[in-house]
Amino acid sequence: MTFIEFCVACLQLQVACGGRVTSWGRSSFGNDEIGGVLTSYHTLMMGVDWTWSKAELLATTVSDKHGTTLNGRQRMEIMAPRLGLKVIDEGDHLHIQPKRL
């Protein structure tokens, strides 16, 4: 996945799932400073941390024609892998990165 393909996929997720990006790129020093892993995709500008407030989760909740109700976070966990992205649930946020470069 190229950087441009990653950015396009992130834009698609933003439109479909809402929420907010709390971290994207970091220097190696900045990554080390916060305890990030040595091989973090953040240092390549291809790692994104995404979160939703309670209000954003409510605002992004929709039901499909089958009655399945999902919020933006739940949709992202389904949609991101279809776009070639890996999702890591960090508890208070989702970390998104390419499945492979």
- Is the Cβ–Cβ distance between 23 and 49 less than 8 Å? yes
CB-based contacts of 13: which residues, under 8 Å, 6+ apart? Answer: 50, 76, 79, 80, 83, 85, 96
pLDDT digits (tens, 9 = 90+) for 5-17: 999 999 999 999 9
Q: 69: which strand partners?
A: 63
Domains and CATH numbers, the chain: 3-64+71-98 (3.30.1380.10)
Question: Three-state SS for 23?
Answer: strand
Q: What per-residue confidence (pLDDT) applies to 39?
A: 86
| Global confidence as pTM | 0.88
pLDDT digits (tens, 9 = 90+) for 41-93: 998 999 999 999 999 999 999 998 999 999 999 999 999 999 999 999 999 99
pLDDT digits (tens, 9 = 90+) for 15-45: 999 999 999 989 889 888 988 888 899 989 9
